[in-house]
C-alpha cells in the first residue's frame, strides 16, 4: 500500500509541485490584481472569477507535464475528475470568502483587505491539493498500469 504511494510521489511529485507553484503564483497574482482593480466588487465574486480563469491552464499544464498525456482528453477519467476538484475548490474558496467577507462587513466600513482574500483562497485550495494529486494520478493512469503497480 505504501510502495505505490511513494512511487507516485517519486515519479510525479516534483512536476506536480512545480505546476502547482506556477499556477498558485499566477492565480494569486491574478486574484490580487483583480481585487485591486475592482475594489468595490464582492470579494467572493472576484475569487470565483479568478478560479475559473486559472483552471484551464492548470488542467493543460498538469495533463501535459505531470501526467504526460497528449491528444484528446478522456471525459470520464481526466476532465471529469479534474473539474470536480476545480468545482470543490471554487465552491470552497468562494463560500469561505463570502462568510469571512460578511463577518468583515459586520464590523468594518472599509472593504475587506485583498490580501485576506488571497490567504483564504490559499488555505482552502491547500486542503484539497494532496488529495487531488493522488486522485488525478490514479485517474490519468491506464487501468492496466494501475493493476500492475498495485
pLDDT at 146: 47
Q: How far apart are CA 137 and CA 127, in angstroms?
A: 17
- Grid coordinates in use for 16? 506536480
pLDDT at 2: 62
Among 34-48, 88-102, 107-121, 130-144, the least confident range: 130-144
pLDDT tens for 49-86 read 999 999 999 989 988 887 888 888 887 778 888 888 88
pLDDT greater than 80 at residue 8: no
For residue 65, count CB atoms less than 10 angstroms from its CB and return exposed for 0-12, middle for 13-18, buried for 19 or more: middle
Each domain of the chain, given as residue ranges in start order, spans: 2-149
pLDDT tens for 28-49 read 999 999 999 998 889 999 999 9
Q: Are 60 and 22 in contact (CB under 8 A)?
A: no
Amino acid at each position: 500500500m505504501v510502495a505505490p504511494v511513494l512511487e507516485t510521489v517519486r515519479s510525479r511529485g516534483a512536476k506536480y509541485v512545480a505546476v502547482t507553484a506556477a499556477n498558485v503564483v499566477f492565480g494569486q497574482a491574478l486574484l490580487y490584481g483583480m481585487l485591486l482593480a475592482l475594489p468595490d466588487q464582492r470579494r467572493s465574486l472576484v475569487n470565483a472569477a479568478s478560479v475559473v480563469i486559472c483552471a484551464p491552464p492548470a488542467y493543460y499544464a498538469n495533463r501535459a507535464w505531470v501526467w504526460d498525456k497528449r491528444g484528446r482528453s478522456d471525459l470520464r477519467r481526466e476532465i471529469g475528475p479534474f473539474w470536480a476538484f476545480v468545482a470543490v475548490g471554487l465552491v470552497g474558496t468562494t463560500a469561505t470568502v463570502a462568510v469571512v467577507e460578511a463577518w468583515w462587513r459586520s464590523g468594518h466600513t472599509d472593504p475587506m483587505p485583498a490580501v485576506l482574500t488571497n490567504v483564504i483562497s490559499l488555505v482552502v485550495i491547500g486542503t484539497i491539493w494532496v488529495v487531488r494529486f493522488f486522485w488525478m494520478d490514479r485517474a490519468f493512469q491506464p487501468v492496466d498500469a494501475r493493476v500492475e503497480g498495485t
